[in-house]
């Protein structure tokens, strides 16, 4: 059964000069009423300013205890993993074990490099920081004393509270390259790409399954991040996505659409676009709406 997630427009609200959180929580409530399974929030400090996802999702989890909450996606390398382990454990308790940590390494762009510098974190070797950081989080989530000699130094450290979910929250890795898909298959609970087209996604989904099986693991979740605009006027919908991507990322929309799954147009066409990914193996769809979210 396919599950649907709704991405809260945190970045869009901030770009529009709206910093209040009330409408975001109201949107989450409406998504629940419409039958969505999960609520998601993105992450950035300075490159694409928005609300802090963990704080916001704590409010969502408290207000809507039946829904999953997730990050799409968190940049764990920006955070000290000991602090992050405590934050995620607390949020997992607040959500009654329904936290999903979508995580990525961040794209290589000047604004994101500046964001890492501002946070006091080296941009280089961020893959290694992500991997070691989550290994440390998972060690702390056992509740046993942890001694660690790596990028971070711990001696007989014990974390509390522990997550609600044994072993810690689900972690889905955002990855578009082959090496990232292998990492997701071997070390994480799911693969969480943002594209590309359905045919190529299907091929990579099969690779993900093969690598998971080769690692001796049971099948893991494949999620997908989709950007959609509903409008009976196809050209207007396409232009809305173009303007949205260029404002959001500050680069040509044509470039973003080479690796991001986007579709704008009449409802029937958008549904056909979405179904193609479901048929290719997507199990959890996180929907980012462009334009009128009510529509």
Per residue in 253-270, pLDDT (tens digit) is 999 999 999 999 999 999
Tokens linked to 260:
């991001």
pLDDT band, residue 146 (cuts 50/70/90): very high
Residues 6+ apart with CB under 8 A from 122: 116, 129
Average pLDDT (72-86) is: 98
CA 267/CA 273 separation, integer angstroms: 10
Q: How far is CA 183 from CA 113, 194, 265, in A?
A: 23, 16, 35
Per residue in 81-100, pLDDT (tens digit) is 999 999 999 999 999 999 99
pLDDT value at position 291?
93
Question: Is the whole-model pTM more than 0.85?
Answer: yes
Average pLDDT (219-232) is: 97
The residue among 244, 233, 293 whose CA lies nearest residue 269 is 233
- Expressed in percent and rounded to 5, the helix, strand and coil fractions of the chain are 45, 20, 35
């Amino acid at each position: 059964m396919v599950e649907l997630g709704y991405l809260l427009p945190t970045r869009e609200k901030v770009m529009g000069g709206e910093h209040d959180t009330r409408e975001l929580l109201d949107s989450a409530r409406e998504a629940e009423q419409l039958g969505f399974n999960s609520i998601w929030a993105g992450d950035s400090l300075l490159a694409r300013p928005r609300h802090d996802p963990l704080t916001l999702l704590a409010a969502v989890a408290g207000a809507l205890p039946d829904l999953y909450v997730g990050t799409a996606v968190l940049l764990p390398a920006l955070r000290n993993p000991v602090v992050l382990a405590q934050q995620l454990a607390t949020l997992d308790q607040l959500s009654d074990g329904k936290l999903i940590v979508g995580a990525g390494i961040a794209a290589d762009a000047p604004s994101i490099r500046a964001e890492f510098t501002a946070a006091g974190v080296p941009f280089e070797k961020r893959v290694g920081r992500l991997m070691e950081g989550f290994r440390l989080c998972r060690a702390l989530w056992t509740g046993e004393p942890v001694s660690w000699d790596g990028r971070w130094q711990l001696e007989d450290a014990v974390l509390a509270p522990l997550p609600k979910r044994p072993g810690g929250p689900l972690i889905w890795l955002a990855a578009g390259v082959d090496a990232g898909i292998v990492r997701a298959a071997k070390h994480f609970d799911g693969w969480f790409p943002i594209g590309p087209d359905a045919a190529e996604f299907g091929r990579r989904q099969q690779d993900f399954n093969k690598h998971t099986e080769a690692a001796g693991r049971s099948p893991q979740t494949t999620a997908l991040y989709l950007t959609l605009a509903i409008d009976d006027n196809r050209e207007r919908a396409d232009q809305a996505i173009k303007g949205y991507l260029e404002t959001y990322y500050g680069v040509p929309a044509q470039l973003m659409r080479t690796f991001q799954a986007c579709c704008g147009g009449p409802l029937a066409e958008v549904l056909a676009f979405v179904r193609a990914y479901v048929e290719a193996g997507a199990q959890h769809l996180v929907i980012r709406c462009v334009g009128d979210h009510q529509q």
